[in-house]
Amino acid sequence: MTPNLAKFVDRLPILPTANPLKKAKNASFYEMRMEEFKRKFHRDLPPTTVWGYNRQVPGPTIDVKKGETAHVKWINHLPPRHILPVDTSILEKGLPEVRTVTHLHGGHTPTESDGYPEAWFTRNFGQVGPAFKQKVYNYPNNQRAAMLWYHDHAMGLTRLNNYAGLAGAYIIRDQHERSLNLPSGDYEIPLVIQDRSFNQDGSLSYPTQPDDAATNLPNPSVVPAFLGDTIVVNGKVWPYVEVEPRKYRFRILNASNTRGYTLYLDSNQSIFQIGSDGGLLKKTSKMKQVTIEPSERFDVIIDFSKWNRKNITLKNDLGANASEDDQTDDIMQFAVTKPLTSKDNSRIPRDLSSIPSLHKQPIKAHRQLTLQGSNDQYDRPLLILNNKRWHEPVTEKPQRGTTEIWSFVNTTNFTHPMHIHLVQFQVLDRQPFDLDHFNQTGEFIYTGSPKAPKANERGWKDTVAAPGGQVTRVIANFGPYTGDYVWHCHILEHEDYDMMRPFKVIDPNEKYHDS
C-alpha cells in the first residue's frame, strides 16, 4: 500500500526526445540502453529503483518523419536479478531471470525487428533466445503519422519489465499532419499514463501472490490482474502542468498493465479527439469522456482559452461502486496560470484525413477466434486464445497482401484489449450473444444486432476493446512483410500467461492454410 501522498505537487515532466547518434537524409541511428537506476516519483517518496531506457522513465521519445528509417540498437545493461517477483512456474526451465526484447507497438515492422517474445537477449547479448536474429532493429516508418510506443515484450516477463519502467513513446510525423495547423511545439505534450503502487521506502510494490492465494501456489506466483493505487503520468505521481489559456494537443498513451481509464475533465468541457492508434481520424470527435484500454493511444485537443486562472483536473470515472478509499479517480491537473505568449492561431479541424474502407476489398478469410478462461494445475486463472497455449503450432497463416476479418469471441465476462502485431486494422462492429448458452453448448444465440463502432473508433487501430459476451470484428490487410508475428491480449498479466498466440504471414506463392 502506497503511503498517503499529496496530489498535484510535482510538475509534469516533459518527456525528452531521443537524440540519434548519427543522422542521414532518410535514416537515423539510435542506441537505447536499458539500465537500473533510481528515480523520484513524488516529492514525499524516497527515490525508487527502476529500469529504463537511457536512464529515463518513461524512455525518451523517438521522433521521426514518415519514411525516415530508424535503426535502433537496444542494449541490455541490466543486472542479473530482477527487482520484481519472477514466477518461474510459467516459464521454460533454465531461462535467465532477466531477459529483454523491445517491441515497437503499432509499427509496420519486418519480422526480425518486431520484438518477437522469444527473440530475447541478456546483458551485453550474453545469452539469446531461440528467435533472436539481430542486434540492430530497423523501423522503416512507411506508415501514417501516429503516436506508437515501444516497450519490452520478453516471453513471460512483459508485465514485470514494463512495470519496472521499460516503455516509451514513438512519434511518426508527416507533411499532411503539419498542414492542418494543429497545436504544436510547446503546445503538443505526450501523456504516458500508468498506475503504480509503492512501499514506504519508495520501492515499487507488486504482488507476489493473488489476493485469494491458495496454500499450494508457487511463490512468487503470477497474478490475474494488477491495479496500482496511484496514477503516474510521465513518471510523476498525480502531477500538474502549467498551461496558457489556449489550445493544447495531448497524445495520450495508456501504458498500464491492466487498468483501463474513462477520462473526463472536472470543468465539464469537451475533449476533441483527432486521432487514435494509427493516426488521424477522418473527422474530429467531440466528447465529454473517453475510455482508453491498455496500450491504446488517443490524440486529443483541449481548449483552455476560456479557463484563465483556473485549475482543471483530468479525472477517471471509477463508476458507482468505487471504494471511497480509491484515489485513482484523479489523473493530473492543468493549471491555466501561464500568460498567453502569442496569439493562438492553431485549429481544431472538422475534417482530418482520408480513411478508405477495407470492407470493399476481397475478403480472403474470416477467422473466429475465441477468448477463453480456464484453470491451471494450481487452480489459478488461465486465459487462452482459441483453446491453445503459446507453444502449440501456428494456426493463423494469412497471405501477404490479403484482407481478412478476425472475429474475437469473448467468452469471459470482462473486456480484453486485443492487439495484432504488424498491422493497423479497422473495427467493423460488436454483437452481444448469450454467454452462458455459448459456454455450455458452443452455439451462438445473439441477443442484439451488430453495433457499429463509436466515432472515435472509426480510424486505424492496432488494439481494440473486446467486451465480455460479445463478438468484436476487425478487418486488416496483412503486410507488407512476411514472417512470424503475434496477436494477444494487452493486459500484460494475461499476455504473460498465456493469452498470446503466434501467427505467420506467408508469401502468396506458398500454400495457403485457412485455419
pLDDT digits (tens, 9 = 90+) for 407-444: 999 999 999 999 999 999 999 999 999 999 999 998 99
pLDDT band at 324 (very low <50, low <70, confident <90, very high): confident
CATH class of domain segment(s) 185-335: mainly beta
Query: What is the dihedral angle through the alpha carbons of 274, 275, 281, 285, rounded to the nearest 10 degrees?
Result: -40
Q: How many contiguous H segments (helices) and E segments (strands) does the chain have?
A: 4, 30
Mean pLDDT confidence for 111-119: 98
Of all residues in the chain, the percent with pLDDT exceeding 90 is: 94
Name the residue ranges covered by the structural domains of the chain: 22-173, 185-335, 358-505
Cell 492553431 identifies what position? 346
Rounded to 5°, angle at Cα 65 from 504 and 274: 85
Q: How many CA atoms lie within 13 A of 350 on its CB side?
A: 0
Find the angle CA(207)-CA(212)-CA(218) to the nearest 5 degrees.
60
Of the two residues 321 and 50, the one the predictor is more confident about is: 50
Instruction: Write down the mean pLDDT value for the chain.
Output: 96
Question: pLDDT of 79-99, one tens digit each?
Answer: 999 999 999 999 999 999 999
**pLDDT of 349 over the 80 cut:** yes
Q: What is d(CA 254, CA 265) in angstroms, rounded to the nearest whole number?
A: 17
DSSP summary character for residue 468: T
CATH architecture of 358-505: Sandwich (2.60)
Burial of 471 (0-12, 13-18, 19+ CB in 10 A): buried
User: Residue 58's pLDDT is what?
Assistant: 98
**81 CB-side CA count, 13 A:** 3
323 vs 340: CA distance, rounded Å: 40
pLDDT digits 0-9 by tens, 145-177:
999 999 999 999 999 999 999 999 999 999 999
pLDDT of 188 > 70? The answer is yes
Amino acid at position 317, single letter: D
Query: Helix (H, G, I), strand (E, B), or coil: what is residue 111?
Result: helix
Residue 468 has pLDDT above 50, yes or no: yes
- Residues facing residue 196 across a β-bridge: 230
The per-residue pLDDT for 206 is: 98
C-alpha cell at 407: 472475429
Q: Say if CB 434 and CB 497 are below 8 A apart.
A: no
Q: Give residues with Cβ within 8 angstroms of 342, minimum separation 6.
A: none
Residue 511 confidence (pLDDT): 61
pLDDT of residue 375: 93
Above 90 in pLDDT, residue 322? no
Same fold, 22-173 and 358-505: yes
Pull the grid cell for residue 41: 516519483
pLDDT exceeds cutoff 80 at 287: yes
Indicate whether 215 pLDDT > 80. Answer: no
pLDDT digits (tens, 9 = 90+) for 228-286: 999 999 999 999 999 999 999 999 999 999 999 999 999 999 999 999 999 999 999 99
Looking at residue 365, what is its pLDDT? Answer: 97
Residues 6+ apart with CB under 8 A from 411: 370, 371, 372, 373, 435, 438, 439, 469
Give the pLDDT band of residue 515 (cuts 50, 70, 90): very low
Rounded to an integer, the average pLDDT of 355-380 is 95
Cα–Cα dist 119/140, whole Å: 20
pTM to 2 decimals?
0.97
Range of weakest confidence among 63-72, 196-205, 212-221, 446-455? 212-221
Q: CA angle at residue 164 from 161 to 170, to 5 degrees?
A: 75
Q: Is residue 193 over pLDDT 90?
A: yes
Give the list of residues 6+ apart from residue 224 with CB closer than 8 angstroms, or none: 210, 380, 381, 383, 493, 494
Q: 22-173, what's its fold?
A: Immunoglobulin-like (2.60.40)
